[in-house]
Amino acid sequence: MATKAKFQAIRGTRDLLPPETALWNRVEQTAHEVFATFGFGEIRLPIFESTDLFSRAVGGETDIVSKEMYTFSNPTSLAAMVRGGRTEGMLSDMLLSEAEMISLRPEATASVCRAYIEHNMQQLPQPVKLYCMGPMFRRERPQKGRYRQFYQIDAEVLGGTDAPAIDAEVIEMVMTFFDKLELQGVLLEINSIGDRNCRPKYVELLRAELSKVKDKLGPDSQRRIETNPLRVLDSKVKEEQSIIEKLPRMADHLCEDCATHYSAVKHQLEMRGVIYRENWRLVRGLDYYMRTTFEITAQGLGSQNAVCGGGRYDGLVELLGGPPTKGIGFAIGEDRLILSLQESGKAPAQQGRDVYIAWMGERAHATAIRAAKDLRKAGFSVELPPVEQKFGKALGQADKLGAKYALILGDNEVSEGLWTLKTLADGSQAKYTEPDLLAHLRKSL
């Protein structure tokens, strides 16, 4: 006998269920509202793009691109070949040479820049301020706060100048958003990682200094001396900490333009009352950044405690084939944001019903259907049982569902035109005419 397959969500993915989804909706709604007050408009992007877009933007050597992307060949090229009259025998050879490689998006910045170029947004008033939200995909080792399908709320400012006030306002926006959500233990860390002018010289200096202490470093950091010495600064290995503390710091090696920009960003943050901490070891795992970088952590998240990361990426649009364009943005890890809100008790309790209609009898059923329609129209959440129940059972059910009120409709109530409303918290009861009931509920809910 064939065994029944027991399906489960793929490792690193998960279902989001009610009542938790109510919190997701509240978070997203708050983002729509706060971002709109800063003049941002929503962009909705495809979930897959050409693999080349990500390797060019994020960097072929980064972990995200080299190890973590879900990549496959685009089957539409097969359909096109079949339509073009190619026989099946020829297809496999051709597929290898002609198939376009596509990837599930590991992040959104590359796609926003692609869309900016594709839709000639440089012709719009600059800068263009866009945000988006949705799932991203990275084949990382799953753990608390780290998933293979996770959700980001992403915002980008493209075009116009690189005025430090823009950097500060973008950061102010995400901090305003977190404040509105009452996220606890928020810590903003900032850094400047220089530009094409000064960073390569610093990286060489760092490489030289790291080579001197190579033997004292672990295998990962040893490898990074060659591939990306900046990432050594990110190391959490205990034995390496005292060595890293003595390394030269980017802040002391910024060119004049970058140093001026960085101190102006700090001044602009202060003008906005945004509290920050400088962290010279803050380097980001994506290649497109220059100058301002930042990360925000929050409470209750363990080792995966970054809820937001971002920075400036002037030159990325150009790298992707567009005109020279300034850019800065951030992405919030929505899964982690939700986790932190839940840990600090900011999540709403179970989504209860406002009114449970306990009806008995044929005539009462017709009245109950009408009452449910009117109450829902007035915006109340109503549970109308599909089959008749004894009142005792109905009230028990109303309790289980967390209803605030039970509306009791029996034959007596229907003939008298007086409906009984029971407050479930204290068991008190009162009778109302139909219009009075609606007015009472409007006042008390």
Q: What is the closest distance, in whole angstroms, from the C-beta atom of residue 50 to ligand HAM in the complex?
A: 17
Number of neighbouring beta carbons within 10 Å of residue 245: 10
Nearer to ligand HAM, 326 or 353 (CB): 326
Q: What is the closest distance, in whole angstroms, from the C-beta atom of residue 195 to ligand HAM in the complex?
A: 16
Nearer to ligand HAM, 195 or 354 (CB): 195
Nearer to ligand HAM, 61 or 434 (CB): 61
Nearer to ligand HAM, 149 or 222 (CB): 149
DSSP for residue 361: S
Query: What would the two tokens of residue 257 be?
Result: 């333009």
What is the DSSP code string of 111-177?
HHHHHHHHTTGGGSSSSEEEEEEEEEE-----BTTB-SEEEEEEEEEESS---HHHHHHHHHHHHHH
Q: What is the closest distance, in whole angstroms, from the C-beta atom of residue 351 to ligand HAM in the complex?
A: 25
Distance CA 204, CA 224 (A): 13
Nearest in space to 250 (alpha carbons), one of 195, 183, 302, 177: 195
Residue 153 forms beta bridges with which residues? 133, 332
Q: What is the closest distance, in whole angstroms, from the C-beta atom of residue 332 to ligand HAM in the complex?
A: 6
Q: Which residues contribute to the site for ligand HAM (CB under 6 A)? A: 107-109, 138, 140, 145-147, 150, 152, 154, 156, 285-286, 306-311, 313, 329-331, 333, 335-336
Give the SS3 label for residue 437: helix
Nearer to ligand HAM, 59 or 285 (CB): 285
C-alpha dihedral over 359, 365, 368, 372, to 10 degrees? Answer: 110
Q: What is the closest distance, in whole angstroms, from the C-beta atom of residue 304 to ligand HAM in the complex?
A: 7
User: How big, in percent rounded to 5, are the helix, strand and coil portions of the chain?
Assistant: 45, 20, 35
Question: Nearest residue by C-beta to ligand HAM?
Answer: 333
Q: What is the closest distance, in whole angstroms, from the C-beta atom of residue 256 to ligand HAM in the complex?
A: 25
Nearer to ligand HAM, 68 or 374 (CB): 68
CB-based contact 298:76 (threshold 8 Å): no
Nearer to ligand HAM, 154 or 172 (CB): 154
DSSP for residue 445: -
Q: What is the closest distance, in whole angstroms, from the C-beta atom of residue 305 to ligand HAM in the complex?
A: 9
Nearer to ligand HAM, 91 or 306 (CB): 306
Q: What is the closest distance, in whole angstroms, from the C-beta atom of residue 298 to ligand HAM in the complex?
A: 9
Distance CA 360, CA 411 (A): 7
Distance CA 328, CA 92 (A): 43
Q: Is the dihedral of CA 179, 183, 189, 194 positive or negative?
A: negative
Residue with structure tokens 């008749």?
Answer: 388
Q: What is the closest distance, in whole angstroms, from the C-beta atom of residue 191 to ligand HAM in the complex?
A: 13
CB-based contact 163:28 (threshold 8 Å): no
Nearer to ligand HAM, 328 or 409 (CB): 328
Q: What is the closest distance, in whole angstroms, from the C-beta atom of residue 369 to ligand HAM in the complex?
A: 45
Distance CA 111, CA 103 (A): 12
Q: Can the peptide bond before residue 19 be classed as cis, meaning omega within 30 degrees of 0?
A: yes
Nearer to ligand HAM, 266 or 284 (CB): 284
Give the SS3 label for residue 431: strand
